[in-house]
Amino acid sequence: MSGTRQQRTQAEVRRSAWPGWIWSVPIAAFGVAIWLGIRGLVHGGETVTVTFDNAYGMEAGDTKVMLRGVKVGDVSDVALADDGKHVEATLKIDHDEKKYLRSGTKFFLRGAQPDFSDPASLKALMAGPEIVMEPGPGAPMDHFNGGDRKPALPPEHGPTVTYLVRFDGAVGALKDGAAVELRGFRVGTVTSVRLNYNADTGTLSTPVQLALDPSSLGIGTPPDNGDWRPPVNDMLKRLVAQGLRARLAQNPPLVGPSKVSLDFVTGAPDATLTDENGTPVIPSTSSSNIDAMTAKADQVIQKIDDLPIKDIGEQVHSIAAHVNAISSSPQIKDSLTHIDRSVAQIDRTLQQVSPQIGPLVAQLRQTANSADQAVAAANRTLGGDATGQNDLPAALRELTDTARSIRALADYLDRHPEALIRGKQEEKP
């Protein structure tokens, strides 16, 4: 056994393909980066450019892109266009809405212009504008032209029939996209308002183009050939013969957006649906409500202008100067000083007389009592001697009245000692 050598256990090192736990952190970070990149490519959205005439308060990261009231993107950048006349807004649209980015899609600002008929635009005036996207047909596109108001006709609008109206007077407040109403129902849209000068006649006119929606006019089923012009023309010819006229209106009056209203005018002169270069023309009438309100406002302004405001102002200024001269006159100051001295003298006299009032009143009361006693004694004497003189009762009555007067005087002086100086004053009830 001593000659046998014991074998030792030897350790063998084996190399593994796993680099170790220390490498798990960078590997995980690398995997997250790859996942975020793939997710960004899939869901990162689409970038489009929309050109506007003005920024109208748009701000990168703050202005939203809305579709049917749902946020579908944001403005990522706002910059001046190369021509220096426009503004280019870069929009980041959600990937799911990529299918709506086509040539017929419209972008417009809500809140860039106040519109009393759209409360959402008034809210946007305070919170900042938002971009509204209205999908339309066409080929995919990534560059669009935007507007500062809702387009005259939405992209998905059905067939329309075009008409012209010529108004007398100014129509500059009427904008593209304004409503055309018939008995309170919206039946069309203003698609063009322009100023036209006729060199042959030397006259100005303001033709307004309307796009009427046949489906809103209640005509009925569409024609077989799809041409709405004949049935709509026939309807308008009948209504115009009955007094239908186009007029400008505002709702609310004076402050609301301008629109075209098709109303029946009582006593309107005869008119027909005329034609101008292939486009029918609807006869118009004056905007009686607006004209009446304007006339009343002019009358009020004229009445204010007729007031002699300048003369009244000069008279008021003269009166104020006169009052100021009187108040600063030396005579007024001397009079006030004299009155102050007189009042002070009266106060001093009252202070001197007041201690003497008490004894005087007591003496008057004593005199009255003595007179009463004398009268009583005389009455007793008369009662015991029936042969007294006839004039003695009269003397006694006078003595009684004297005593009563003395007593009244004593009472009055007791209440009003200042009467010795100022005289008797009328007592208030």
Domain boundary among 120, 146, 172: 146
The per-residue pLDDT for 387 is 47
Task: Please indicate, yes or no, if residue 285 is contained in any of the structural domains.
Answer: yes
Asked if pLDDT for residue 56 goes beyond 60, the answer is yes
Could you tell me if 166 and 277 lie in one domain? yes
Task: Please indicate, yes or no, if residue 249 is contained in any of the structural domains.
Answer: yes
Task: Please indicate, yes or no, if residue 309 is contained in any of the structural domains.
Answer: no
Could you tell me if 196 and 284 lie in one domain? yes
Task: Please indicate, yes or no, if residue 113 is contained in any of the structural domains.
Answer: yes
Could you tell me if 138 and 207 lie in one domain? no
Distances (CA, A) of 98 to 36, 105, 153, 158, 254: 20, 11, 23, 24, 43
Could you tell me if 286 and 341 lie in one domain? no
Q: How confident is the model at residue 211 (pLDDT cuts 50, 70, 90)?
A: very high
Query: How many domains would you assign to the chain?
Result: 3
Residues 89-94, mean pLDDT to the nearest whole number: 94
Task: Please indicate, yes or no, if residue 288 is contained in any of the structural domains.
Answer: yes
The per-residue pLDDT for 386 is 46
Could you tell me if 133 and 204 lie in one domain? no
CA distance 414 to 408: 10
Asked if pLDDT for residue 100 goes beyond 70, the answer is yes
Asked if pLDDT for residue 385 goes beyond 80, the answer is no
The per-residue pLDDT for 57 is 87
The per-residue pLDDT for 50 is 96
Task: Please indicate, yes or no, if residue 258 is contained in any of the structural domains.
Answer: yes
* Residue 75: how many other CB atoms lie within 10 Å: 22
Percent with pLDDT over 70 in the chain: 68
Task: Please indicate, yes or no, if residue 360 is contained in any of the structural domains.
Answer: yes
Could you tell me if 186 and 245 lie in one domain? yes
Could you tell me if 289 and 167 lie in one domain? yes
Asked if pLDDT for residue 119 goes beyond 80, the answer is no
Residue 156 in tokens: 């998905």
Residues 219-240, mean pLDDT to the nearest whole number: 88
Could you tell me if 75 and 167 lie in one domain? no
Could you tell me if 260 and 170 lie in one domain? yes
Task: Please indicate, yes or no, if residue 11 is contained in any of the structural domains.
Answer: no
In tens, the pLDDT along 329-348 reads 777 777 777 777 777 777 77
The per-residue pLDDT for 198 is 82
Could you tell me if 220 and 293 lie in one domain? yes
Residues 52-68, mean pLDDT to the nearest whole number: 91
Asked if pLDDT for residue 206 goes beyond 80, the answer is yes
Averaged pLDDT score across all residues of the chain:
78
Asked if pLDDT for residue 284 goes beyond 80, the answer is yes
The per-residue pLDDT for 131 is 93
* Amino acid identity for residue 336 in this structure: L
3-state DSSP percent of the chain in helix, strand and coil, to 5? 40, 25, 35
The per-residue pLDDT for 95 is 87
Query: What pTM was computed for the model?
Result: 0.50
Could you tell me if 395 and 278 lie in one domain? no
Domain that holds residue 132: 41-146
Asked if pLDDT for residue 285 goes beyond 90, the answer is no
Could you tell me if 117 and 176 lie in one domain? no
Asked if pLDDT for residue 53 goes beyond 80, the answer is yes
Highest mean pLDDT: which of 2-16, 25-39, 123-137, 305-319? 123-137
Hunting for tokens 């007031």 — which residue is that?
A: 307
* Residue 367: how many other CB atoms lie within 10 Å: 15
Domain boundary among 297, 324, 353: 297
